[in-house]
Amino acid sequence: MAIRETPLGLDFLELSKTFPGKGVRESVHVLENIQQRIENGRFVSIIGPSGCGKTTLLRIIAGLEKASAGKVLLDGKELAQGTEEVGLVFQEYALFPWRTTLQNIEMGPEIKGVEKEKRRSKAMEYIKMFNLNGFENRYPRELSGGMKQRVAIARTLIMNPRVVLMDEPFGSLDSQTRNALQEFLLRIWGKRGDTIVFVTHNVDEAVFLSDQIIVLSKRPARIVKTFEVGLPRPRDRTGQECNEIRREVLKVLSEEIK
């Protein structure tokens, strides 16, 4: 008898989400039958009109929201709520203002009960990896926006999640800082090989970063089209190949915004 191989990847199986209201007319139908496979180790961006449900989809994957219908599987097994296999990076950093850079990064291991010396040593590795040397004892108010986001990403990655969800992590940054952090994120991802699901409104960002781009419709969101971005890295942001994909994605998005 043939041995059936275990599916390797993140699967969305007919995911739907409705936020109930007092009556049927007040209910908000956000996601409609989202069906998609994301292979392990890929960098996938999700893009769509404002308010279409991109963040809701991430929150369902992370276990912060419950789907009205459907399932999320990782390697064929349904993801448990609160699983450490999934990490989430928010747009607004979500750092604790009373904790230093080092204390914010080591928070996860501290909650897990890892002894102080061991967790501090690990956090210092991330301080060096994320170019935060000299800022380990600074508080969030003393850091730039780009540094805050590096701290937030380090705090997530120190827990070694298999799937990293990123909700517009660079959306509030200036273009120069944003570009630098995109390149930094790609270097980190290249070393680690995590699966990244990245929500963005920025088509240029999606094309520069991604192996695949998933375009969602307006609410209730469904998958309109997926684009494979088979370009080698590093990519030329203004090169002809990137611009061609950018035009195709914008064309599909423009139809949804009408």
Residue % of the chain over a pLDDT of 70: 96
Q: Closest Cα partner for 132 from 160, 112, 155? A: 155
In contact, 71 and 13? CB cutoff 8 Å = yes
Domain boundaries defined on the chain: 9-85+162-257, 95-160
In contact, 61 and 79? CB cutoff 8 Å = yes
Across the range 9-32, mean pLDDT stands at 88
Across the range 61-87, mean pLDDT stands at 91
Q: How many residues does the chain have?
A: 258
**CA 33 to CA 90: how far, in whole Å?**
25
**CA 215 to CA 196: how far, in whole Å?**
16
The pLDDT of residue 2 is above 70 = no
C-alpha distances in Å from residue 41, one per residue of 8, 44, 84: 10, 9, 17
Supply 17's token pair: 């989400």
Tell me the pLDDT tens digit for each residue of 144-181.
999 999 999 999 999 999 999 999 999 888 999 999 99
pLDDT at 7: 61
Across the range 98-105, mean pLDDT stands at 97
Supply 5's token pair: 């191989």
φ and ψ at 54, to 5 degrees?
A: -65, -45
Tell me the pLDDT tens digit for each residue of 220-254.
999 999 999 999 999 999 999 999 999 999 999 98
Tell me the pLDDT tens digit for each residue of 38-71.
999 999 999 999 889 999 999 999 999 999 999 9
Across the range 192-201, mean pLDDT stands at 96
Q: Which CATH architecture has domain 9-85+162-257?
A: 3-Layer(aba) Sandwich (3.40)
The pLDDT of residue 5 is above 90 = no
Largest separation between any pair of C-alpha atoms in the chain: 63
